[in-house]
Chains A and B, each alone.
Chain A
């Protein structure tokens, strides 16, 4: 049995997020059930799966937007959905979320967007806040764009600005919903690099929804694979490990873009 390359002993890492027996429903239709996985501190955790299998829905459960039909999602050992409003707010303050389209507030400039969480939760002076906003925007490569409106910048820039807003409060966990969707390969790569650098230098735990194989292998250190047919997770582990060693043929197929399947069927023929 080959050891998983990225698995370190539990004493070294502790679970930042623990999902157990999670069932998600939309109205009466079942999306996913019996999800069990944990995200360790410092992980870049990838939620994988085919189109329409509920990846984004899972993310929205993890950030507390949707209520699970059953099961728990615990942060540092505390279940989010059974916590009181104030506890939930405290937990939420430690996360940053970037959305598929950036979800910037269109009536505000980039600087106002990034400073919104700061005005909401800190007692910083306007000048200090302006400095911090400038720094956060510079960090995502948007120095000098403080006074632009979201409609005046490109899609890739909007996503990076969304990332700057998500990082405004120095979160411990960053969630990304399809960060590279709709970006050209170079911009997508730059965003991947940015995410990786942030996770390494800031020690942020990152949860990311994506089906881009390049991103998955470039940045993912751990992950879960959801399946639309069986409506549950097929496998968890590091993507590079699952590529060759997953017990599920579908996972290997997905990660190798169907190449593994052809090889195997070739083997069977021989």
Chain B
């Protein structure tokens, strides 16, 4: 044992020393090894010719391996005295690279601002040429940045809202005209597209709707059981799950899934087509984009969403049932309680909601897609806009519909 320990110790010790040596080597030789022939940069200011003339003679290596000397002195001299002309001279030890050129550009900008004539004829010819190249095109003065917190924040909000309203109304009008064209059998919409989108928005969405609806049913059941147990009325959990799913959660959960899934897909599809000039190509072929691209998608979602919502209702009740069974409620009790919990009108309220949600999701998705810019970044932005707008629309519409139902007593 002693032998093993000492061998390990020696090994560890050696590797530690080796590590230090390697670090040292890397730090001093690899990194800075080539610097031994360097001359540190410096400058000397001369001002004895005339009060309006100042010159600085640069020496040493003005490059990226050296720290440039503190040239604040030059700038302060230029500022304090009434200098009209500043000449940059160099002595034979002077070397330069783009680090120096960058400093020179800064100096040039300063001199331009203070109306000082900068004379550079003393520089090496290459440095002078490069400097002329850098200053050939005048500085772009207008900025592309917009002030984040502008005084006109309120104004810009109003402007944004008006713009949103205008876009909304215009797109709504186009869609309405498109729907009218379908009834007049003059539409450019194609049946094949519709069935393809119906498949994407319907059957293809079943797995995720199954999972989430089942879980939402369970969540509702747990929530209800904990509260109802205090009154010994656990059996009413069936009512809570039934009414909750049918009137509210079925439609809303399906809508949120579809906003993230299908609404985003619509925006991305149309946005990519916009980037690829396909939308322009359609227009010049005389095909109405609303008919050809928007309406099949919208109709597919309008057909699929109520069906998915019904499915989601049933799955939610199943999920609630699983929880109820684990809470000493028999299956028969649960089903009996459930069957008396809601009426057909309750189901209808949920289905009507899902219809409205489908319109809103496809509206937001297609509008964002068609308004997409001409870059790949714009597609991402369009997708985000589609989902965010759709969810805002959903929640606002849901609140509105609930108020309406309450007032009407449905």
Question: A: which residues have CB within 8 A of B?
Answer: 60, 63-65, 89, 92-93, 95, 97, 99-101, 103-106, 116-117, 120-121, 162, 165
Q: Which residue of B lies closest to A177 (CB)?
A: B277
* B281 contacts chain A at the CB level, 8 A cutoff: yes
* B287 contacts chain A at the CB level, 8 A cutoff: yes
* B286 contacts chain A at the CB level, 8 A cutoff: yes
Q: Report A55 CB to chain B, min CB distance, Å.
A: 15
Q: B272 — which chain A residues lie within 8 A by C-beta? A: 106
Q: Do A106 and B276 have beta carbons less than 8 Å apart?
A: yes
Residue from B188, B281, B286, B287 in contact with A99 in the complex, judged by beta carbons closer than 8 Å: B281
Report the Cα distance A121→B286, complex, angstroms.
Answer: 9
What's the dominant secondary structure at chain B's contact region? helix
Are A65 and B281 CB-contacts (below 8 A) given A101-B276, A120-B188?
no
Q: Do B276 and A103 have beta carbons less than 8 Å apart?
A: yes
Q: What would be 6 A-B contacts, judged by CB atoms less than 8 Å apart?
A: A63-B284, A64-B283, A93-B286, A103-B277, A103-B281, A120-B287
Residue from A65, A89, A106, A120 in contact with B280 in the complex, judged by beta carbons closer than 8 Å: A65
B254-289 CB mask vs A (1 if < 8 Å, else 0) is: 000000000000000000110011101111111100
- Other than the given A60-B280, A97-B284, 10 more pairs (CB < 8 A) read A65-B280, A97-B280, A97-B281, A99-B280, A103-B281, A104-B278, A105-B273, A105-B278, A120-B188, A162-B281
Q: A103 — which chain B residues lie within 8 A by C-beta? A: 276-278, 280-281
Report the Cα distance A237→B229, complex, angstroms.
Answer: 90
Q: Report A126 CB to chain B, min CB distance, Å.
A: 14
Q: Do A65 and B285 have beta carbons less than 8 Å apart?
A: no
Q: A121 — which chain B residues lie within 8 A by C-beta? A: 286
Q: Which residue of A lies closest to B287 (CB)?
A: A120
Q: Report A233 CB to chain B, min CB distance, Å.
A: 24
Q: Do B285 and A99 have beta carbons less than 8 Å apart?
A: no
Q: B277 — which chain A residues lie within 8 A by C-beta? A: 99-101, 103
Residue from A60, A105, A106, A120 in contact with B286 in the complex, judged by beta carbons closer than 8 Å: A120
Q: Do B280 and A92 have beta carbons less than 8 Å apart?
A: no
Report the Cα distance A120→B283, complex, angstroms.
Answer: 12
Report the Cα distance A103→B280, complex, angstroms.
Answer: 8
